[in-house]
Amino acid sequence: MVETQSGNIDNKDENVSEQVNNPEAAITEDQTNQENESIKKADSIDTEDLKNTISNNDARLEQLEKEHETLKNQYVRISADFDNFRKRQSRDQDDLKIQLVSKALTAILPIVDNFERARQQLKPESEEAQSLHRSYQGLYKQLVEVLKQQGVAPMRVMNQQFDPNLHEAVLREPSEEFNEDIIIEELQRGYHLEGKVLRHALVKVSMGPGKQNSQQEVEKDTVEGDIDSEAIPSEDV
């Protein structure tokens, strides 16, 4: 045991003597230890910075995703609003075009009415009158063709059910042949324009059978009542 302790003492003495004899080696070892500690500290700092950087990047990414979603929703709304605006503008332009065309065509329709009335009234007998009649018929056909090209179509109203959206009842009369609210005469032709009413048809509408008799009975009862009231003597007399 004494020998071992003496051996350790000798080794310590040797190390001390070596450090004394080689001071540069001692300094190098201290520097190495310090550098290792510095590296450990730097590694610890770098790891912490990296964690902070990742955390910040995640937060920034989440914020950018929210901003992207917000901008996307705004784009969708703006796109939908613009599409609705474009459709509304197109619809308004179509309506304005139809209004202008309707106004122009409505001004022409009385001329067509005059042509039709003249065709019904004229009965040419002489050659000259027949030639004039053929010229008139040619002009009338051209006018009708122009109206057709513009989308104008005449209404067919005879024997049809009265519809206030299409027809205007000018006269109503009893009829034993037709039921109530059936059109029995066309007084002025109505026209459609692209499926819409350009001009309402002026028509005569049936009141149905028995209406005249019932009306006469009401008038008769009224007259008889007046006569009876006159026949009753007044109590004051």
Predicted confidence (pLDDT) per residue in 195-216, tens digit? 889 999 999 999 988 654 444 4
- Label residue 187 by pLDDT band (50, 70, 90): very high
CA separation for the pair 2, 37 (Å, rounded): 39
- Percentage of the residues of the chain whose pLDDT score is greater than 90: 20
CA separation for the pair 223, 8 (Å, rounded): 158
Backbone angles phi, psi at 7, to 5 degrees: -70, -40
* 161 in Cβ contact with 182 (< 8 Å): yes
Which amino acid makes up residue 186? E
Report in angstroms the alpha-carbon separations of 15 from 5, 9, 25: 15, 10, 11
| Residues in CB range of 198: below 8 A, 6 or more apart | 102, 105, 106, 109, 152, 190, 191, 192
CA separation for the pair 22, 16 (Å, rounded): 9
- Supply the pTM of this predicted model: 0.53
* pLDDT reading at 223 higher than 80: no
